[in-house]
Amino acid sequence: WASAQFFLFASRKSVKEKARLRLREFDVGDKFSRLPLAKASVLLPLLVREGRLYLLLTVRAMQLRRSPGEVCFPGGKREAMDKDEIDTALREAKEEVGLQPEMVEVICRLMPGIDKMNHLVTPVVGFIEDTFQATPNPAEVSDVFVVPLDYFIKPLNYKALPYKTSSGYSNRMHCFIYDDPERKTSFKIWGLTAHFAVFLALVIFGKRPTFEVDYDLDNLISSAENNFMNLYASVYEKKKSNL
């Protein structure tokens, strides 16, 4: 028994260690913090269960004005008291699901995205313990669940939705349906949330997904940056033309 426990602990450690090393290579730090867009952050909470990486996600409360009932990561808009993107993500995770900042081992900030409100959204990746019990704030969150991270490169139920941003930038949007075996519920994960989950899985596993992605997988860092800068340029041009 003791050796089995030790093996579990050792494998958990190596799974984390490998992920940490990969993630640090992709850390963008505050490289995009000066872009002149309103700021928001999300926390991508990773945990290890039986040697597998999982990602914690939330379902937005039905009474919210924006995107009610949609799956997302804990997060939100930057507030004046936040030092940086990491602060925003940790504060929001505490407010939404009761995750104390000291319970998160922050690893890095990944390439940002731009949401439909033209906020610059920074994904902050951190490890949490698999024993974490969420206490959702009912005003903001109706449910909390976990998905194996490898589902975002080998999904059972996936479709790509073509879409154009308001600035005319065309792209494909990932849409996953995940059947949660514990909850006997299906969750639809799409939009920016799916975009961040896919990128996180590509970074950590370094494998080709079973569906098309808009990256050159041999040069993931530079192609992700090119994609982002193209998107940013299209948004920024539109903002200027609206002034």
Per CATH, domain 13-241 is 3.90.79.10: yes
Question: Which two three-digit tokens encode residue 196?
Answer: 């961040």
Q: Is the dihedral of CA 49, 52, 53, 56 positive or negative?
A: negative
How much is the pLDDT for 92? 98
DSSP string, the chain: -HHHHHHHHHHHHHHHHHHHHHHHHT--TTTTTTSSS-EEEEEEEEEEETTEEEEEEEEE-TT-SSSTT-EE-SEEE--TT--SHHHHHHHHHHHHH---GGG-EEEEEPPPEE-TT--EEEEEEEE--TT------TTTEEEEEEEEGGGGTS-SSEEEEEEE-TTS-EEEEEEEEEEETTTTEEEEEEHHHHHHHHHHHHHHH----SS--SS-GGGHHHHHHHHHHHHHHHHHHHHHHH-
How much is the pLDDT for 200? 98
Q: What is the pTM of this model?
A: 0.92
Note down pLDDT in tens along the chain; length 243 residues: 556 665 566 666 799 999 999 999 999 999 999 999 999 999 999 999 999 999 999 999 988 888 888 999 999 999 999 999 999 999 999 999 999 999 999 999 999 999 988 999 999 999 999 999 999 999 999 999 999 999 999 999 999 988 876 667 677 899 999 999 988 999 999 999 999 999 999 999 999 999 999 999 999 999 999 999 999 998 877 666 665
How much is the pLDDT for 5? 64
How much is the pLDDT for 242? 62
pLDDT, tens digit, 9 for 90 and up, residues 46-97: 999 999 999 999 999 988 888 888 999 999 999 999 999 999 999 999 999 9
How much is the pLDDT for 206? 94
- The domain segmentation of the chain, as residue ranges, is 13-241
Beta-carbon contacts of 124 under 8 Å, excluding residues fewer than 6 positions away, are: 41, 42, 43, 44, 85, 86, 89, 90, 106, 108, 109
Q: How far apart are the first and last CA of the chain?
A: 68
Q: What angle do CA 241, 114, 75 make, to 5 degrees?
A: 140
